[in-house]
Amino acid sequence: MSVLTDKLADRESCSICPALRKTLSVPLRIFLSPSAKLSLTGQKLFHGISKIMQQKLYLCTVFLCTLYIYYILTMIDKINALLQEVEAMTAANAEELEALRIKYLSKKGAINELMADFRSVPAELKKEVGMKLNELKTKAQEKIATLKEAFESQDTGMDELDLTRTAYPIELGTRHPLTLVKNEIIDIFARMGFNIADGPEVEDDLHVYTKLNFAADHPARDMQDTFFVEVNPEDVTKNIILRSHTSSVQVRTMEHTQPPIRVICPGRVYRNEAISYRAHCFFHQVEGLYIDKGVSFTDLKQVLLLFAQEMFGSDTKIRLRPSYFPFTEPSAEMDISCNICGGKGCPFCKGTGWVEILGCGMVDPNVLEACGIDSKIYSGYAFGMGIERITNLKYQVKDLRMFSENDTRFLREFESAY
């Protein structure tokens, strides 16, 4: 016990220690004088058992509490140690900086690990430990942003650019892998009678969220958080944003066309995501919409099965899992049988035999009505897929960032793809 009290005394300067001492003082007093501090029922129970059992119980509780106290103290130690590490952090180049970001701020990074442990911190200490953890996270984010800025403002070597160099011969370029896959998707749906529809990347809230049945304060907006160009606090529907999906093009099509409508909407979309090997702040989609009289879920399933078999081979199987999107009801997520192991299970499909490729569902009547289509007469389905995801499955590109780095060694690998 004295080691513990010493350890507590050592923390005189630590801001969270007064509260820690307060929390621990109750169990500590009980351990030091057990029978005196126990409740009436506790006392009866305590006296009802043999002296040896009392001692054993007492020792056992002391042991468990010691472990617990050490656990909390170690957590505080870890936070303080990380704070010092973050303050001293330096990086010689962008790769080193990325490694630091992954070490501290990624999903499996040191700070997130502590955040997971935070759940078991007792309620009395949550506020102080939480504040300290937040301080650590903010410091790490700030430090990484400062280091990044320093790299970006460094001399870019523009002075050494030799403008007298001849531009010839101009080498023949290759099609970008995302363009190749986009064209293949378009080609498959064109053969099924779909037209292409296009729309703006800088959109208003009305077309990206509101007309698609996202309530102004619905958390589904967070799932598709994006970049704001203009914010209108009085009326969110007037916010100007970068579109987070090409469903906005579907809305625009429904606004000016009466059914039958059969379109696909390819294009670039934006999301407020931290950039990593599997997520980016922009990516590409192909979404589809079919509205007519008597369209049912069976039509959707058949079209998607055909698409999967054309894209990934005639043996491909599909499965639909229930999901949620504000603009479709019912909604589903579609998996295809893993095209690498043929559905047997491999590291790529994490042993499941299935890989997810798109979201889909029957267009919610509220969306039809918001876009001027009579939902009593017409019904329809919609689906949406990420082109990066499909390309990844087809060519096993492990890191999403490679698509936008302009490394010609990577791009030339697709020279003979089609």
Q: Which residues bind ligand PHE (CB under 6 A)?
A: 245, 247, 287, 325, 328, 359-361, 382-384
- Closest CB 325 distance from ligand PHE, rounded Å: 4
Strands ordered across the beta sheet of 379-386: 195-196, 261-270, 282-292, 379-386, 354-363, 328-337, 318-325
Measured from the CB atom, the residue of 216 and 223 that comes closer to ligand PHE is 223
Measured from the CB atom, the residue of 20 and 304 that comes closer to ligand PHE is 304
Whole-angstrom distance, CA of residue 232 vs CA of residue 356: 36
Measured from the CB atom, the residue of 128 and 364 that comes closer to ligand PHE is 364
Residue showing the smallest CB distance to ligand PHE in the complex: 384
- The answer to whether the CB of 48 falls within 8 A of the CB of 21 is no
Token look-up 């081979």 returns 313
Instruction: At 18, list the tokens.
Output: 């007064």
DSSP 106: S
DSSP per-residue codes, 136-202: HHHHHHHHHHHHHHHHHTS--SGGG--TTS--PSPPP----HHHHHHHHHHHHHHHTTPEE----SE
Measured from the CB atom, the residue of 247 and 392 that comes closer to ligand PHE is 247
Measured from the CB atom, the residue of 24 and 300 that comes closer to ligand PHE is 300
- Closest CB 333 distance from ligand PHE, rounded Å: 8
- Closest CB 361 distance from ligand PHE, rounded Å: 5
Task: Report the chain's terminal Cα–Cα distance, integer Å.
Answer: 73
Contacts of 193 (CB under 8 A, 6+ apart): 262
Measured from the CB atom, the residue of 118 and 227 that comes closer to ligand PHE is 227
Measured from the CB atom, the residue of 34 and 380 that comes closer to ligand PHE is 380
CA 152 to chain centre: 26
Whole-angstrom distance, CA of residue 141 vs CA of residue 137: 6
- Closest CB 343 distance from ligand PHE, rounded Å: 24
- The answer to whether the CB of 59 falls within 8 A of the CB of 53 is no
- Closest CB 226 distance from ligand PHE, rounded Å: 11
- Closest CB 212 distance from ligand PHE, rounded Å: 8
- Closest CB 382 distance from ligand PHE, rounded Å: 4
